């Protein structure tokens, strides 16, 4: 799920920051709070989504990596002692199903957001 979140921030932010045309026609009809050009405003917004959004995920990634490593060490220790826990395998299968369901939901939400954006641009 973290990979999907990072991909969403990267793709959406890079798409907004690196484009060469203004996406929102409302900029021409309403006033702006600061004296930014519409394209510069959208570029700044894309950079804000892209960089801080992705950077916020990096510490979480390292924490998850550390937890994963600790769990693997614990399992290796149990195996070296000859302890086999069958209940853990059942719980792991259930956790995998939940993880895949949540990953699929995140992917569908991301695709829906991109789809709405594409429709709104036209």
Identify the domain containing residue 31 by its residue range: 2-121
Neighbour-count burial for 5-28, b at 16+ CB within 10 Å, e otherwise = bbebbbebbeebbeeeebbeeebe
The residue-averaged pLDDT of 99-121 equals 79
* Residues 38, 110, 52, 54, CA torsion sign: negative
pLDDT digit string (tens) for 56-103?
888 888 888 888 888 888 878 877 887 765 555 555 666 777 778 888
Residue 91, CA distances (Å) to 11, 28, 98, 114 in order = 34, 56, 11, 35
Residue 108, CA distances (Å) to 25, 88, 101 in order = 27, 30, 11
Which pTM value belongs to this model? 0.53
Q: Which residue has the higher pLDDT, 33 or 69?
A: 69
Residue 40, CA distances (Å) to 14, 23, 43, 119 in order = 14, 12, 5, 23
The total number of structural domains that make up the chain: 1
- Number of C-alpha atoms within 13 angstroms, CB side, residue 87? 1
């Amino acid at each position: 799920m973290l990979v999907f979140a990072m991909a969403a921030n990267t793709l959406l932010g890079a798409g907004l920051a690196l484009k060469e045309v203004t996406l929102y026609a409302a900029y021409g009809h309403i006033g702006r709070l600061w004296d930014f050009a519409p394209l510069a405003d959208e570029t700044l917004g894309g950079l804000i989504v892209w960089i801080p959004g992705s950077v916020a995920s990096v510490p979480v990634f390292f924490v998850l990596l550390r937890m994963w490593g600790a769990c693997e060490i614990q399992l290796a220790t149990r195996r070296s002692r000859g302890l086999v826990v069958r209940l853990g395998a059942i719980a792991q299968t259930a956790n995998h199903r939940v993880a895949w369901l949540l990953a699929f939901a995140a992917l569908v939400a991301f695709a829906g957001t991109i789809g709405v954006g594409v429709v709104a641009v036209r």
